[in-house]
A and B are shown apart, each in its own frame.
Chain A
Amino acid sequence: MAKHGADEPSSRSGSPDREGRASEDRSLLHQRLAVRELIDTEVSYLHMLQLCASDIRSRLQQLPQGDLDVLFSNIDDIIKVNSRFLHDLQETASKEEEQVQLVGNIFLEFQEELEQVYKVYCASYDQALLLVDTYRKEPELQRHIQGIVEAVVPQAGSSGLSFLLVIPLQRITRYPLLLQKILENTVPDASAYPVLQRAVSALQDVNTNINEYKMRKEVASKYTKVEQLTLRERLARINTHTLSKKTTRLSQLLKQEAGLIPRTEDKEFDDLEERFQWVSLCVTELKNNVAAYLDNLQAFLYFRPHEYNLDIPEGPAVQYCNLARDLHLEAFLKFKQRLEGLVWQPLCSLAKALLGPQNLIKKRLDKLLDFERVEEKLLEVGSVTYQEEAARHTYQALNSLLVAELPQFNQLVMQWLGQIMCTFVTLQRDLAKQVLQRAEGSMAQLPHHHVPEPAFRKLVEDALGRTSNQLRSFQETFEKVQPPPTTQLLLPGSERQVQALLSRYGPGKLYQVTSNISGTGTLDLTLPRGQIVAILQNKDTKGNSGRWLVDTGGHRGYVPAGKLQLYHVVPSAEELRRQAGLNKDPRCLTPEPSPALVPSIPTVNQVIAAYPFVARSSHEVSLQAGQPVTILEAQDKKGNPEWSLVEVNGQRGYVPSGFLARARSPVLWGWSLPS
């Protein structure tokens, strides 16, 4: 309200005070009316909004929810803000004198909120209009919508929905005008004046910003999409226009590179871009590293050593199996899930979010080259075409968009990365706690849990060393199992044959058949086990060293080498035979006259009694089958080799030589035949 008598324009007419006062009163009246108008229109505006938001929207349920969201955008937020706004405005009604100033202040208070909430609505308005257009094309739908609109808001007329949807746009642009009207009718020296002035410019700024925001959003949505074009689509896109654009840009770039024209240096932008590149690198590397970590975790969980069955019912082995199973199924699994949800997913989202700015930066560079060319032309020619102007404008829009939003982007990303890393650390700690709880529980049940670690390590080392030796001894045990003894007893009738072979080939060439051989080919021999043969060749005509050519003393042929075993004959037996020059009893081998053993034979050549013999006189000694005997003389006092002087069981006496046999004694390790 204007103060009386202060800063009045000096009245020059006859009744200056009265006139002045009259115009003052008129101004005051207009002012009041303007304020009244503001509030009244606000009331009806809000009412209209509420009708739209509740009545109309709820009746348009047959439209998909996505459509409704586009049509009505954030109308609910607008209603919230404007309700409070109206409330505050209405409160000023009682404060007569200060009302105008208060109104101005209210506008200033709400400036920020109004901008935030209306810019969203305005930015999506175009899309809403597009939708309304598509509805118009369907007569049925259009009639339905129109019916609803007219029922609720008759004054909408034939324009229907679009009439309603444009209302918030109209309102926000009207505020500066309404304020202006109040301002005009305010005395400049009134205290409310500067407030009102600020309010007016504030609301004008709001509108400017809303426009700017809308334009940026348009430009951004045009260029942020990373288009997945097939090659064919890309080729189809090439036309003279795009080609000329690209060639122009290229030549511009080349001219810059060659130094023919100056490059627009924008240090601020370059720094910003550099930082963005580092942020991108950070995100990309982190994502890749976390992926590798997850892969390795997966591999680790794939191997389940606790699932092997060693048939150990209790003790540390069982403890370990239970522990490992627990860890795999719970602790590690949970860790993996949390990692995927709280670290990996966000990183993926971040990586995707990088694409928009990356694209825009690329586009900006393209547009910059266009811009520079246009600037050149402007300098040369003085005017530019409409398209060139548009190109200039696009570059400027892109540039300002990026300059405005990149810093925020970078900061947001880094903040989020920080959070993600902290989460990673916490997840590790939680995993450790989980594992530790269970492992300590298992450890408490171990036999040596009270033993400190260094002492325990020594214990384990010793234990392992002992068991290693134990293992080795088992191995040796099994290795000592000897072939059956009967292999060594000769078949009847073969002594002569053996001697013949021996004299013809020598001792090293004799082999004994270890198991029955049945020959298949014409040159293969069929031999029983125990037969003695002499080796002629240790391979066959084809060079196969598994087939040997042997001589049985009567026949020659091939036998499998695996069924032959080297046969040791004591050389002195031969000498003895030559000495004696007599035929031998086919059932006996000439025993050694003295206990001289052939050193090459590793096992003890034992002479045993083949059959029991009952001594009939004191010169003779009794034998039991299998009994080991020591031969003292291979003939009796008269030189008869049919009797041998032996010692057995500490007794000496004569026994028939035929009742003796030489056997390779499998005496070792408890295998000795009963004596």
Chain B
Amino acid sequence: MSWIPFKIGQPKKQIVPKTVERDFEREYGKLQQLEEQTRRLQKDMKKSTDADLAMSKSAVKISLDLLSNPLCEQDQDLLNMVTALDTAMKRMDAFNQEKVNQIQKTVIEPLKNLSHRFGSVFPSLNMAVKRREQALQDYRRLQAKVEKYEEKEKTGPVLAKLHQAREELRPVREDFEAKNRQLLEEMPRFYGSRLDYFQPSFESLIRAQVVYYSEMHKIFGDLSHQLDQPGHSDEQRERENEAKLSELRALSIVADD
């Protein structure tokens, strides 16, 4: 038998204060923002470390190609320099790989995990929010029903229906309030706990840089010493380059342009 739906009205009084709604939306919004930022951060970190690795590999290629040039066989000084350079580049590449591994383990993976968890929390969170919404609607509907009966003339059947309606309303109201309260508690807690997630990763990231760049400073410092490079300023170096170019251009076989 088809059941004619009871006309559901809106309750007269505002059962959920605007501030509560606003709080709720704010907390939910913050979580959404956090989820998006985490996801994008993780992607960017991955791309950044990939570029870092590529840079290191191309540095290694520089010295490798130099080493394989036949000129090195003939010129001992050149060979020494290029060999020293090649050793340095290879060592740096190894340290870089180590650095990237550490970052992978302590930053990228946790971020991915976090993003994934956030991703999977959100369906559950959304479901919880929906259920709260559902509860709110039930609450509103039943509240309206109670108000409707309260307005009517207080006859016997009406009183009985009023009583029944009130009885129906109470659990629903309590359910909504419980859900609301829980979400309003849990969401900020969840949001607040992000500090626990991110701080170790970032600490690790900074430390990994220190380890790597210490090595880099030492290796290239030593190499620089070995190659007997005077400490010229950039202007001096530019002038040296100009001078060398002029020397080359002075040759007739070099085209002037």
Same complex:
yes
User: A-side interface residues toward B, CB under 8 Å?
Assistant: 213, 216-217, 220-221, 224-226, 275, 278-279, 281-282, 285-286, 289-290, 292-293, 296-297, 299-300, 302-305, 308-312, 315-317, 319-320, 323, 338, 341-342, 345-346, 349-350, 352-353, 355-357, 359-360, 401-402, 405-406, 408-409, 412-416, 418-419, 421-426, 428-429, 431-433, 435-436, 439-440, 442-443, 446-448, 453, 456-457, 459-461, 463-464, 466-468, 470-472, 474-475, 477-479, 481-486, 489, 491, 497, 515-516, 525-528, 531, 552-555, 610-612, 625-626, 666, 670-671, 673-674
- Compute how far the CA of A346 lies from the CA of B214 in the bound complex, rounded to whole angstroms: 29
Other than the given A528-B3, A671-B179, 12 more pairs (CB < 8 A) read A289-B58, A349-B245, A421-B85, A425-B88, A467-B110, A471-B197, A479-B124, A486-B142, A528-B5, A670-B178, A671-B175, A671-B178
Give chain A residues whose Cβ lies under 8 Å from the Cβ of B37: 308-310
Indicate if the CB atoms of A310 and B198 lie closer than 8 Å.
yes
Cβ-defined contact, B237 with A477, below 8 A: no
Bound state CA distance, A432 and B223, in angstroms?
13
**Is B167's CB within 8 Å of the partner chain A?**
yes
Q: Give the contact stretch, choosing among B10-18, B149-157, B202-210.
A: B202-210
Alpha-carbon gap, A512 to B122, bound state (A):
27
Q: In the bound complex, how far is the Cα of B254 from the Cα of A655, in angstroms? A: 113
Q: Which residues of A contact B256 (CB under 8 A)?
A: 221
**A residues near B223, Cβ cutoff 8 Å:** 425, 429
In the assembled complex, B184 has its CB within 8 A of some CB on chain A: no
B253/A402 in contact, CB under 8 A: yes
Central interface residue in B198, B199, B234, by most chain A CB within 10 Å: B199
User: CB-CB < 8 A to B214: which residues of A?
Assistant: 436
Bound Cα distance from A559 to B41, whole angstroms: 44
Alpha-carbon gap, A429 to B207, bound state (A): 19
The answer, yes or no, to whether B25 is at the interface (CB within 8 Å) is: no
Establish whether residues B253 and A486, one from each chain, have CB atoms under 8 Å apart when the complex forms.
no
Name, among B52, B253, B254, the residue most crowded by chain A CB atoms within 10 Å (CB to CB).
B253
Q: Which of B38, B52, B81 contacts A418 (CB 8 A)?
A: B81
Cross-chain contact of A484 among B78, B102, B175 (Cβ < 8 A): B175
Whether B221 lies near A463 (C-beta < 8 A) is no
Number of chain B residues whose Cβ lies closer than 8 Å to a Cβ of chain A = 114
Residues of B within 8 A of A443 (CB): 206-207, 210
- Whether the pair A555, B2 counts as a contact (CB closer than 8 A) is yes
A224-B254, A527-B3 given; A460·B204 CB < 8 A = yes
What 10 A-B pairs are tightest by C-beta distance, nearest first? A481-B128, A429-B220, A432-B217, A356-B255, A478-B124, A300-B51, A432-B216, A224-B255, A554-B1, A220-B252
Shortest Cβ distance from B203 into A: residue: A316
Q: Which of B48, B168, B186 contacts A477 (CB 8 A)?
A: B186
User: What is the minimal beta-carbon distance from B23 to any residue of chain A, in angstroms?
Assistant: 17
Does any Cβ of A come within 8 Å of B229's Cβ?
yes
* A484 cross-chain contacts in B, Cβ below 8 A: 131, 134-135, 138, 172, 175-176
